[in-house]
């Protein structure tokens, strides 16, 4: 099987349908990163009393209290929220949240309709703090940690989870900003598990919600690529292998490097260099295609045994195992008034086995693989080192 571009164990615990994520140490930020600052020509606007309509959510892991040892910095995701105020007043009030995706899903349309639509959320208005917030008790929905600080429960039933979200308008009045905190405490199942260490842990995420119309309109904006990004991936389709989960979180041990820029007319030597487990990095070239950017390229990837991939410990069988083609559509999303931009990409990677790999390791490296996924790139200087 093709060795995974993105490293780290699958974090199934963090795939909450409404707005979830997880984390692990994904490498140190490049101190020289400019964070992908784009020129800020936006004038401050007065925020509406309440957010209303479809919003594009970006969330990334920034730290926590006693987090797991393999909790990746910068682990990110996007979700689609439909916000509806509970009042018609010109004063802030509670806001109801539902999924803005297909069939009420919180996911982009590529993931398809969910079998079960999550319960609605209500963001309660706090007049004193001028914030909207909610708290949700999820019950058994987490893994305890062993003595080394790693996940000790593959079933994720040994910790009870409580999630808290707090949001407010930023100074520009154009986006909601805030945090999501996940608190995990040991439950009776965990206390009975000899592999579980006593105690709990937490994870914190920065959140930004941008009106969907603004994201669509901003797809053609100027982009100055950051020197370094933390990258994560969420898979929505797999063909040619059964050794990867339908939903698979991975984060590079090393940062993705960026260079160049794009504007409404095209791109000027804009590239992304993505490190892989074995071999040279994947070099993707950015170009303009109408209102969107594209990221395309080819790479040579190693092949690991299916068994080792499934166990989360890839063992490379052959370095030049696959020739891969990348075809992604990329959208910049401005996260703050300083012009920091996340890059949200989705599309296909098709990996064809080399003749040598297919003949030597037909069971593990003999099939063409096609993986459809979302890729989230967060400027490294937005993540505490």
Kindly report the backbone phi and psi dihedral angles of residue 169, in degrees, each rounded to the nearest multiple of 5, phi listed first: -70, 145
Q: Smallest Cα–Cα separation from 225: which of 34, 376, 381?
A: 34
pLDDT tens digits along 179-238 = 999 999 999 999 999 999 888 899 999 999 999 998 887 776 789 999 999 988 888 888
The C-alpha atoms of residue 337 and residue 41 are separated, in whole angstroms, by 9
Q: What is the mean pLDDT of residues 72-85?
A: 91
pLDDT value for 15? 31
Instruction: Judge whether residue 12 has pLDDT over 50.
Output: no
* C-alpha dist (Å) from residue 109 to 80, 155, 220, 226, 342: 10, 28, 21, 28, 20
Other CB atoms closer than 10 Å to residue 26's CB: what's the count?
A: 27
Percent of the chain with pLDDT over 90: 49
The C-alpha atoms of residue 259 and residue 154 are separated, in whole angstroms, by 39
pLDDT value for 27? 30
The C-alpha atoms of residue 46 and residue 42 are separated, in whole angstroms, by 12
Q: What is the mean pLDDT of residues 295-309?
A: 87
Bridge partners, 211 (sequence order): 55
DSSP state of 145: B
The C-alpha atoms of residue 341 and residue 344 are separated, in whole angstroms, by 9
Q: What is the DSSP string of 42-110?
A: PPP-PPPSS--EEEEEEEEEEE-SS--TT-BTT-EEEEEEEEEES--SSS---EEEEE-SGGG-SS-GG
Instruction: Judge whether residue 41 has pLDDT over 50.
Output: no
Q: How many CA atoms lie within 13 A of 102 on its CB side?
A: 9
pLDDT value for 16? 30
Element (H, E) at 376: strand 369-379
pLDDT tens digits along 108-166 = 989 887 777 777 889 999 999 999 999 999 888 888 999 888 888 888 899 999 999 99
Kindly report the backbone phi and psi dihedral angles of residue 239, in degrees, each rounded to the nearest multiple of 5, phi listed first: -135, 140
- Is the model more confident about 256 or about 72? 256
* Three-state secondary-structure class, residue 382: helix
Instruction: Judge whether residue 328 has pLDDT over 90.
Output: yes
Indicate the pTM of the whole model: 0.82
Q: What is the DSSP string of 263-324?
A: -SS-EEEEEEEE--SSSSPEEEEEEEETTEEEEEEEEEEEEE-HHHHHTT---EEEEEEEEE
């Amino acid at each position: 099987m093709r060795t995974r571009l993105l490293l780290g164990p699958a974090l199934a615990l963090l795939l909450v349908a409404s707005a979830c994520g997880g984390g692990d140490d994904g490498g140190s930020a490049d101190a020289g990163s400019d964070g992908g600052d784009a020129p800020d020509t936006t004038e401050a606007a007065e925020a509406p009393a309440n957010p209303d309509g479809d919003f594009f959510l970006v969330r990334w892991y920034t730290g926590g209290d006693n987090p797991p040892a393999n909790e990746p910095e910068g682990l990110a995701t996007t979700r689609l929220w439909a916000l509806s105020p509970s009042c018609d007043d010109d004063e802030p009030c509670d806001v109801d949240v539902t999924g803005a995706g297909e069939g009420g899903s919180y996911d982009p349309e590529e993931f398809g309709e969910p079998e079960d639509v999550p319960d609605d959320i209500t963001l309660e208005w706090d007049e004193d703090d001028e914030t909207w917030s909610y708290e949700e008790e999820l019950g058994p929905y987490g893994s305890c940690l062993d003595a080394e600080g790693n996940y000790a429960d593959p079933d994720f039933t040994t910790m009870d989870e409580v999630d808290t979200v707090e949001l407010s308008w930023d100074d520009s009045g154009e986006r909601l900003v805030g945090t999501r905190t996940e608190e995990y405490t040991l439950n009776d199942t965990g206390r009975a598990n000899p592999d579980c260490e006593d105690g709990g842990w937490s994870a914190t995420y920065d959140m930004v919600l941008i009106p969907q119309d603004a994201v669509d309109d901003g797809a053609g904006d100027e982009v100055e690529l950051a020197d370094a990004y933390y990258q994560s991936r969420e898979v929505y389709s797999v063909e040619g292998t059964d050794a990867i989960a339908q939903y698979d979180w991975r984060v590079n041990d090393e940062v993705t490097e960026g260079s160049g820029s794009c504007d409404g007319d095209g791109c000027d030597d804009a590239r992304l260099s993505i490190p892989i487990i074995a071999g040279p990095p994947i070099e993707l070239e950015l170009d303009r295609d109408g209102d969107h950017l594209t990221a395309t390229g080819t790479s040579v990837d190693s092949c690991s045994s299916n068994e080792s991939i499934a166990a989360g410990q890839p063992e490379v069988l052959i370095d030049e195992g696959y020739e891969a083609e990348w075809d992604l559509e990329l959208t910049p999303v401005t996260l703050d008034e300083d012009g920091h931009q996340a890059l949200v990409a989705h599309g296909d990677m098709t990996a064809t086995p080399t003749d040598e790999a297919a003949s030597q390791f037909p069971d593990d490296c003999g099939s063409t693989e096609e993986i459809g996924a979302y890729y989230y790139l967060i400027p490294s200087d937005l993540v505490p080192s």
